[in-house]
Structure 1
Amino acid sequence: MPNRPDPAEAPTAAPLTNLTRSGGEMFAWSDRPGRDSPLLDHLIVELGGPGRSVLVAGPHPAGLVAALAAGGADVTWVLRSGTDAEAAARAHPTITVRSGTFGKIDLTSGYDLVVAVDGLQRLNSAEGDQLSADDLLRRLAGAVRPDGTLVLMHDNQLGAHHTVRLDPGARFRDDAAWSAATADPASRAQLTSRLAGFGLTTATTYAAFPEPSAPAVLIGGETLGDVASPLRPWLETVLAQAYTTAFRGRPVLADPRELVSRALRAGAEDTVAGGWLVIASTPGAAGLPPALPDVLAADVNGVYAVGADGPVTLSPAASSREVEGLRRVRVVRPVAGYRLEARLLELCAAADVRGLRQEITGYESWLGTGPISGPEALADLSDIAVTGDGPTVLSARWEPATALPAQIVLVRALWQFAVRLTTGGRPHPWPITASAADLAAILVGMAGRSLADEELRAAVDLQVTIDGAEFGLDRAGRQAHRLALRSVQPGSAPVDVAGYHQLAEALWRQRYQASHLLAMMEWTERIIQSRDAQLSRMDWELQLLRRGWGGRGLMLAKRAYKMVRK
């Protein structure tokens, strides 16, 4: 056997002067930090600044901590994992790292900014006393200096991301999934009330979507719960896209987009939000921004605020703006009207073929006949609103670098709607056994046009290009996605967010189709048997007639007639 080096003779690493152990660390343990969130990074870095002392409580993305330090802030990072604390101290020598359970960390000096956007769940350590949620909130509030600010993200246990989760054994499989029972407070009102009891004044609160670890949309102010807001149609579109991106390829009980869409129409989006972001301060805080917008969002184009007048860019994306013939754009048009896809689904459920033809014809007229450029060429039916002045694009993230034929644009939009009808188990006026291609041909025919096979293939390839640019699919992933889109049948599950409910619905449709085929086979067999019986009886009657004198005479007369004609 080869000689192994003596651990005592191994070179020791340089001592970490910026690491303080407070006790209660969890060794041989690692908390997976949350995903990078440009939206949270923008808000927190804006609240930081040169000379300000910042406490980062819990595991956070290293990019956020590095951005705070790069902005000139004096950063202190508290981690319960001893391994994570050592790695953070080595990677960020300019910040102070403290490891241990949160109850043993010395917070008497106070901080200008306290950041806890990872929540309360991972502040307790298994090696120390388990503090309650109120105790953790009290310690966080006590760490805020006069004129200081607390930024806290609290997980909503009733959120859609928990309701639809389908991942058995996750809490036993991953270290980072362990947490003490810190579910309280259970609502945004309880959270702000308890912070007020600890001496903090809430300046701004947001409902975060889709998940608290990486929110893409923040809704607050008067827009939250206001069903009459002109931002409602746009919010339904952007939230659907956010949940599609977050849950694509993940096992879920049901499609979260349906749940959030219903809650949004009822003004109850705060109840199913992924979490609540609270920005609170001590009375008379001077470091808080004078006003924060009601709606903040982030996508491939950066971070932006949205109001009734449209978007305002806060932090543009640094990546390339053109990908494989597609150009990144940002279109946000909060208008009063109805979403075209929602209207078509209602008409399909009511079997209103005349209304469907009118809506599709209006959409086809709006597209026109010439080559189409701009966001209209790639906008889904869910991204289009119909107002008193006609259709308009509510939201768009991509546009083609070169104009596309109007026929391909029309086919792609209607085919995509047909896919959602088929995979979502939506009721429609046509047979349930119709495939997505058959439904697309019917819908295109309502616009007064025909659908060729090469046009459908071109539309599918265009959709694959869009999804590949949106979700970063590689060559193999795009090929698999193309095959899945081309093979959408009544028993197919959704190709983006395949929930158990949708899978059960697809299984029911498969069984219905199989039972329908079996019934047709039995009916055909009965018809064949009935006709065979009739033919047998007619043959018997003919044979009987032929054996009699009358039948023989008729046969002789028939033969004589044929001979005379010849």
Structure 2
Amino acid sequence: MFAWSDRSARPNALLTRLITELSGPGRSVLVAGPHPDELITALTTGGAEVTWLLRSLTDAEQAARTHPAVTVLAGAFGKADLTPGYDLVVATDGIQRLNSAEGDQLPAAGLLDGLARAVRPGGSLVLMHDNQLGAHHTVRLDPGARHRDDAAWYPAEAVDGPAARTQLTAELTGSGLVIDAAYAAFPEPDAPTVLIGGETLGDLASPLRPWLHTVLAQAYTTAFRGRPVLSDPRRLVGRALRAGAEDTVAGGWLVVARAPGDAGHLRQWHDVLIGVAHGVHRLDAGGLRTLAPYEGPREQDGLLRAEVAQPFDGYLLEERLFALCAAADVRRLRQEVTQYEAWLSGRSRDGAVDGPAALADLSGIGVTAAGPDVLFGRWAPVEPIPTRIALVRALWQFAVRLVTAGRPHPWPITASASDLAAILTGMAGRSVTEEDLRAAVDLQVTIDAAEFGLSPADRRAHRLALLAVQPGTAPLDVAGYGELAEALWRQRYQASHLLAMMEWTEQIIASRDSQLSRMEWELRFHRSRVTGRALMAAKRAYRMIKK
């Protein structure tokens, strides 16, 4: 395919780690379709003999110049001679871009069977398949993308391939492969950061369920921050998790299969894998375990990278507070906030608190029979911060989510985030000053800047946006069309409320002006003439006789 490019692949530490574990010195690797250069470099650095198949001639020429040690093939997958097979076949870009315009389009079953036949006995296949029912497709709002992007030349909707993970594994099993692991990939198939598989997938009794709520919410926040969507995908995925249907709304399915033969390369597959900027980790009942540590700087803007997860058997504090606010249960809401304040104060020394607890969101706080604890944390302060600032920041951020998401709560709909933060802090027996609130906002800006790499200009804009959160403010991270419509309704409600108040005030003022004018006329009349005084005397006499 001439004058064409599919170079849209993004680097992904999680996939790179998983694939390089299956590779090694002297092993032959076939990379089918466009993949990030970082993956090819990692394979060649590890001593593998890499063959890279691309349908675009332009991409193939660029790949040959960038990776001289790699054998690059240009053309359709169905025309490539892949005998006698490879020790590892990588197709984490899926099967949509393996066909080419130069010949007949192979059906999905033919592409999957071709990938399976390319694996020699004892070899492995790593395949990512897009889920057309995934949350990333459901909330997508990008008109005209198919006509702008070369990579979308072959519509994903036209693929007649598997529509469920079980169908995908059945296709590969029918092609003679043995399934080693099958993961639901989140948030998007081209850049997954969370892989859920094994017994954890769909198991409502798994002790990892509360963790998954926090981990997936963070993954979708990072992936969809600043992108237009129809609705907030975090709500959709959260409901799916509560129903045990996360496999249905996953961005895609990652399958690791092997051809029968030498089993010398078998390894243990973990149920939950997390790949973020801080490294690659696995999650199990014992907590968070690092598989590939972060190699960059550990300190940034006075914050330390601190990936933390603890064993947990209880409920998420933020989810409980949302439910209590919706039920207007102020008494139990006060109990929860007071318990959190007592726990945070108990971890402080000399009025300051450090460690992940100082910066953990309420979504990362779990409550067990023994009390609150850090369920999932990503940052810790280099120097301890005042306990009151840590408390105000956590409660203020919760208030921001209440307001911007349009969630119900017991207080007036016109209450701002600052008002709600003051109410919640008052429930904990503390007061909030303007200086405390601004310090809490500055701390949140520092955390977001470290998390999302904000520039100085972005930090200033983000700080102003946080300070201006009002009832009509849309979500500041993932602004979906549904949430924008809700924010617009709140703005109109508030405007109509203000107009009604103005009209009522004008009527009251007009009524009082009329009464004052009447009284003033009577006083002038009575003071000016004798007849007026006689009339007043007659009026008083009439009232006495009537009484």
Q: What TM-score does the superposition give when structure 2 sets the normalisation length? A: 0.94
Report deviation, 1:175: 1.0
Find the partner of 1:241 among 189, 198, 218: 218
Query: Could you tell me whether the CA contact under 8 Å between 1:435 and 1:489 is conserved in 2?
Result: yes
Match of 2:508 in 1: 527
Find the partner of 1:286 among 236, 249, 263: 263
User: Secondary structure at the residue paired with 2:352?
Assistant: coil
Match of 2:533 in 1: 552
Deviations 1:322-352 (CA, angstroms, capped at 9, x unpaired)? 1111001110113011111111111111111
User: Secondary structure at the residue paired with 1:329?
Assistant: strand
2:169 aligned with 1:192? yes
Report deviation, 1:222: 0.3
Match of 2:53 in 1: 78
Query: Could you tell me whether the CA contact under 8 Å between 1:47 and 1:287 is conserved in 2?
Result: no
2:303 aligned with 1:326? yes
Match of 1:390 in 2: 371
Deviates more, 1:87-96 or 1:398-407: 87-96
Alignment of 1:260-279 (within 5 A): 260-279=237-256
State the AA in 1 paired with 2:31. Answer: V
Match of 1:123 in 2: 98
C-alpha separation between the residues in 1 aligned to 2:215 and 2:356?
A: 15
Deviates more, 1:206-215 or 1:171-180: 171-180
2:286 aligned with 1:309? yes
Match of 1:5 in 2: none
Report deviation, 1:214: 1.0
Alignment of 1:191-230 (within 5 A): 191-230=168-207
Query: Could you tell me whether the CA contact under 8 Å between 1:149 and 1:285 is conserved in 2?
Result: no
State the AA in 1 paired with 2:488. Answer: L
Query: Could you tell me whether the CA contact under 8 Å between 1:300 and 1:397 is conserved in 2?
Result: no
Match of 1:443 in 2: 424
Find the partner of 1:54 among 29, 32, 51: 29
Unaligned runs of 5+ in 1: 1-25, 557-566
Alignment of 1:34-53 (within 5 A): 34-53=9-28
Report deviation, 1:466: 0.5
User: Secondary structure at the residue paired with 2:353?
Assistant: coil
Unaligned runs of 5+ in 2: 538-547
State the AA in 1 paired with 2:329. Answer: D
User: Secondary structure at the residue paired with 2:72?
Assistant: strand
Report deviation, 1:128: 2.0
Query: Could you tell me whether the CA contact under 8 Å between 1:546 and 1:555 is conserved in 2?
Result: no
Match of 2:208 in 1: 231
2:400 aligned with 1:423? no
Query: Could you tell me whether the CA contact under 8 Å between 1:329 and 1:399 is conserved in 2?
Result: yes
Alignment of 1:351-370 (within 5 A): 351-368=328-345, 370=351
C-alpha separation between the residues in 2 aligned to 1:448 and 1:277?
A: 50
C-alpha separation between the residues in 2 aligned to 1:327 and 1:470?
A: 11
**Aligned alpha-carbon RMSD (Å):** 1.7
Q: What TM-score does the superposition give when structure 1 sets the normalisation length? A: 0.91
Match of 2:544 in 1: none
Report deviation, 1:542: 4.9
Report deviation, 1:290: 3.0
User: Secondary structure at the residue paired with 2:129?
Assistant: strand
C-alpha separation between the residues in 2 aligned to 1:74 and 1:228?
A: 44
C-alpha separation between the residues in 2 aligned to 1:183 and 1:409?
A: 52
Match of 1:104 in 2: 79
C-alpha separation between the residues in 1 aligned to 2:127 and 2:317?
A: 38
Report deviation, 1:543: 5.9
2:378 aligned with 1:408? no
Give the length in aligned residue pairs: 531
Find the partner of 1:376 among 357, 366, 374: 357
Query: Could you tell me whether the CA contact under 8 Å between 2:232 and 2:480 is conserved in 1?
Result: yes
Report deviation, 1:528: 2.1
C-alpha separation between the residues in 2 aligned to 1:398 and 1:177?
A: 38
State the AA in 1 paired with 2:432. Answer: L
Match of 1:432 in 2: 413
2:120 aligned with 1:139? no
Report deviation, 1:183: 4.9
Identity of aligned residues (%): 70
Find the partner of 2:136 among 157, 161, 164: 161
Query: Could you tell me whether the CA contact under 8 Å between 2:404 and 2:475 is conserved in 1?
Result: yes
State the AA in 2 paired with 1:455. Answer: D
2:74 aligned with 1:93? no
State the AA in 2 paired with 1:112. Answer: D
User: Secondary structure at the residue paired with 2:68?
Assistant: coil
Query: Could you tell me whether the CA contact under 8 Å between 1:157 and 1:183 is conserved in 2?
Result: no
C-alpha separation between the residues in 2 aligned to 1:525 and 1:554?
A: 35
Deviations 1:407-453 (CA, angstroms, capped at 9, x unpaired)? 00001001101111111111111111111111111111111111111
